[in-house]
Amino acid sequence: MSKNRRRIEIRFRVNRKLRRVCVHPLTRLLDILRLELGLTGTKEGCGEGECGACAVLMDGELVNSCLIPAVQLHGRSIETIEGLSKRGRLHPIQQSFIQRGGTQCGFCTSGMIMASVALLMGKKHPSSAQIGEHLAGNLCRCTGYSPIVDSVRKVGKK
Partner 1 sequence: MHAFLPDFEVYTPRSLREALALLNQNNHKPLAGGTDLMVLLAAGNLPAGSYLNVNGLEELGGMEVGKDKVRLGALTTYTEIRRQAILCKEFPNLVAAARQTGALAIQNRGTIGGNIANASPAADSPPALLTYDAEIKLISEKGTRVVPYKDFHLGYKKTLLGTNELIHSVYVPRRFRNWHHYYRKVGARKSQAISKVIIAACALMNKDRIQDIRLSAGSVAPYTLRCFQTEEILRGEKKSQAAIQKAKTMILSEISPINDIRSTAKYRRYVTTQLLEEFLLSLP
Q: CB of 41 within 8 A of CB of 22?
A: no
Is 60 near ligand FAD (CB under 6 A)?
no
User: Mapping DSSP to helix (H, G, I), strand (E, B) and coil, where does residue 152 land?
Assistant: helix
Between CA 9 and CA 22 the distance in angstroms is: 4
Residue 136 interface partner, choices ligand FAD, partner 1, ligand FES, none, CB cut-off 5-8 Å depending on type: partner 1
By C-beta, is 61 or 88 nearer to ligand FAD? 61
Contacts to partner 1 from residues 12-41, by CB under 8 A: 24-28, 31
The sheet that has 17-23: what strands, in order across it?
17-23, 8-14, 77-79, 55-58, 61-64
CB of 4 to ligand FES, least distance (A): 26
Is 49 near ligand FAD (CB under 6 A)?
yes
Interface residue with partner 1 among 134, 148, 149, 152 (CB under 8 A) is: 134
Is 50 near ligand FAD (CB under 6 A)?
yes
Between CA 156 and CA 158 the distance in angstroms is: 7
Site string for ligand FES, 116-135 (x = CB under 6 A): --------------------
**Cα end-to-end distance, the chain, whole Å:** 60
